[in-house]
Amino acid sequence: MPDRHLWLVGVCALLSVAYVLPSLIGVVRHGTRSSRLVAINLLLGWSVVGWIWALVLACRPPRPHTVSTAVAPDWTPWLPGRPEAADVPVGAAETYTDGTYLMSERGTAQTWAICRSGRWGVAYELDGIQRTAAWVDTSDIPVGILAHALAPCPPTKGRA
């Protein structure tokens, strides 16, 4: 009788190893990129189709690792960087003073208007980290901020 139980334990162990065989092959061949394969094997491996699908995924050739050699462009965190923004209108650079102007603030969220050489941008920050920014048209900036950013007029000569 004890030999019979030992044989049953051996068969169960062999079936368990066979059940996870696609996962074992996938981890050895694909490393950390085999999470989808392991999930398919564990969740659908009980069906013959799921087990064969996992085995096919495990035996296919590994995908080559692509390494990006592109150099990141210069980036200023507080300045919008949308390259397709419209050109600065003639005379706009002299109209407004360059700077950053707080548009709104609520808790740790802040919206900034940025004027740079006559171009206006809007940046949104949350917890001190810029989340998004874009160049915008002057009509998108609140009138109060535009009035605050107006460059002082030079004094006129000869008028009393």
Q: Which of 40-54, 100-114, 139-153 has the lowest mean pLDDT?
A: 139-153
Whose tokens are 């950053």? That residue is 100
Q: Is the dihedral of CA 9, 13, 16, 18 positive or negative?
A: negative
Predicted TM-score (pTM) of the model is 0.41
DSSP secondary-structure letter at 140?
A: G
DSSP secondary-structure letter at 125?
A: E
The answer to whether the beta carbons of residues 115 and 140 sit under 8 Å apart is: no
Query: For 91, left (φ over 0), alpha (ψ -120 to 50), or beta?
Result: left
| Residue range 76-94, pLDDT digits in tens | 444 444 444 555 555 555 6
Q: Which of the residue ranges 63-67, 75-79, 108-112 has the most confident prediction, judged by mean pLDDT?
A: 108-112
φ/ψ (deg, to 5) at 135: -75, 140
Distance in angstroms (rounded) separating the CA atoms of residues 53 and 42: 12
Number of C-alpha atoms within 13 angstroms, CB side, residue 144? 4
Between 18 and 34, the higher pLDDT residue: 18
Distance in angstroms (rounded) separating the CA atoms of residues 14 and 6: 12
H or E segment at 130? strand 129-136
Q: Where are the domains of the chain?
A: 10-59, 92-149
| Residue range 127-156, pLDDT digits in tens | 888 888 888 888 888 888 888 888 676 555
